[in-house]
Copies of this chain bind each other. A is one copy, B any other.
Amino acid sequence: MCGGAAHGLVLLAGVLRARGVHTVAVEAYGLHVHRDLLTRAGLRTVPLPVDGRGADTGALGDAGAVLLTPAHQFPTGVPLHPERRAAVVDWAHRTGGLILEDDYDGEFRYDRQPVGALQGLGPEHVVYLGTASKSLAPGLRLGWMVLPPSLVGDALDDPASRTPGVLDQLTLAQFLDSGAYDRHVRSARLRYRRRRDALVAALAEHAPDVGVTGIAAGLHAVLQLPPGTEQQVVRAAAWHGLAVYGLSMFRHPHTTSAPRDALVVGYGTPPDHAWTGALDALCRALP
């Protein structure tokens, strides 16, 4: 158990550094805070291009580890293609590299069979990172790691490993054992799926030219925008009272591919009574 995925990454950064790793490949689009964490822990991050098949795992270069969101790339929303899954596990086998699999919203898959975890393909090379941030609340700081046995000792030995409060851990364990967590997740999944359907329907009606992707899972969608319009749409949305991010917000500073204009729209947060109004505002802000 760790204090969210962020705390797990702090521990893993220490383990990697102790093993002589200097460079971690990350997705060219991803969470700023995760890149920062690795950098502050003394590791260099290099961006892997992200396309319609997820991160380009052929570009790993001399990285000693790679941080991926294979089930639902954050934020572009695509699942990692089976060929790339095989390739990255093969890379780990060949080089001894470590794969950090961030399954940040694993509870929320809608239209298809759950995507298997990469961890199942190479348990001795993959660290699986899960979190209660999406299923319960980010403020709980509850996450977990499934580690290759060879790393468990190193991670636990780290004095910094002792941070999540035991009451929260015991409460979560009881929540899981009782079946109440499963019931909560099923009901939340249905609620989020309805919101997603409403988002897709509203876009089809009011902004039929805007492509929407990344909707098979998770709590956000990516709306493709005409080139050069991203900043202007983000500003228009703010003017309509919406806080949405442009895709450029998640871009690794060393990414060389051409920027893509898109809007990252989270649909988990607004309370039910505000959801229809938020959708209307979004449609008005779109080109």
Q: Which A residues fall within an 8 A CB radius of B?
A: 3-4, 6-7, 10, 14, 33-34, 36-37, 40, 42, 137, 139-142, 158-160, 162-168
Q: Which residues of B contact A140 (CB under 8 A)?
A: 165-167
Picked from B6, B33, B141, B163, the residue with its CB within 8 Å of the CB of A6 is B163
Q: A138: shortest Cβ distance to chain B, in Å?
A: 9
Residue of B nearest to A36 (CB): B159
With A40-B14, A42-B42: A141-B165 Cβ-Cβ less than 8 Å: yes
Residue of B nearest to A169 (CB): B139
Q: A180: shortest Cβ distance to chain B, in Å?
A: 16
Picked from B6, B42, B139, B163, the residue with its CB within 8 Å of the CB of A3 is B163
Residue of B nearest to A10 (CB): B160
Q: In the assembly, what is the distance between CA of A137 and CA of B137, in Å? A: 24
Q: In the assembly, what is the distance between CA of A164 and CA of B165, in Å? A: 7
Q: Which residues of B contact A163 (CB under 8 A)?
A: 3-4, 6-7, 141, 163-164
Q: Which residues of B contact A167 (CB under 8 A)?
A: 139-140, 168
Additional pairs, 19, CB under 8 Å, beyond known A6-B162, A7-B162: A3-B164, A3-B165, A4-B163, A6-B159, A34-B159, A36-B159, A37-B159, A37-B160, A40-B159, A40-B160, A42-B42, A137-B166, A139-B165, A141-B162, A141-B163, A141-B164, A142-B165, A160-B160, A163-B163
Q: A222: shortest Cβ distance to chain B, in Å?
A: 24
Q: In the assembly, what is the distance between CA of A9 and CA of B175, in Å? A: 32
Cβ contact within 8 Å between B166 and A141 = yes
Q: In the assembly, what is the distance between CA of A168 and CA of B164, in Å? A: 10
Q: A184: shortest Cβ distance to chain B, in Å?
A: 16
Q: A172: shortest Cβ distance to chain B, in Å?
A: 10
Q: In the assembly, what is the distance between CA of A162 and CA of B9, in Å? A: 12
Cβ contact within 8 Å between A165 and B162 = no
Q: In the assembly, what is the distance between CA of A7 and CA of B159, in Å? A: 9
Residue of B nearest to A132 (CB): B165
With A165-B140, A165-B164, A168-B167: A159-B33 Cβ-Cβ less than 8 Å: yes
Q: A170: shortest Cβ distance to chain B, in Å?
A: 9
Q: A107: shortest Cβ distance to chain B, in Å?
A: 19
Q: In the assembly, what is the distance between CA of A3 and CA of B117, in Å? A: 30
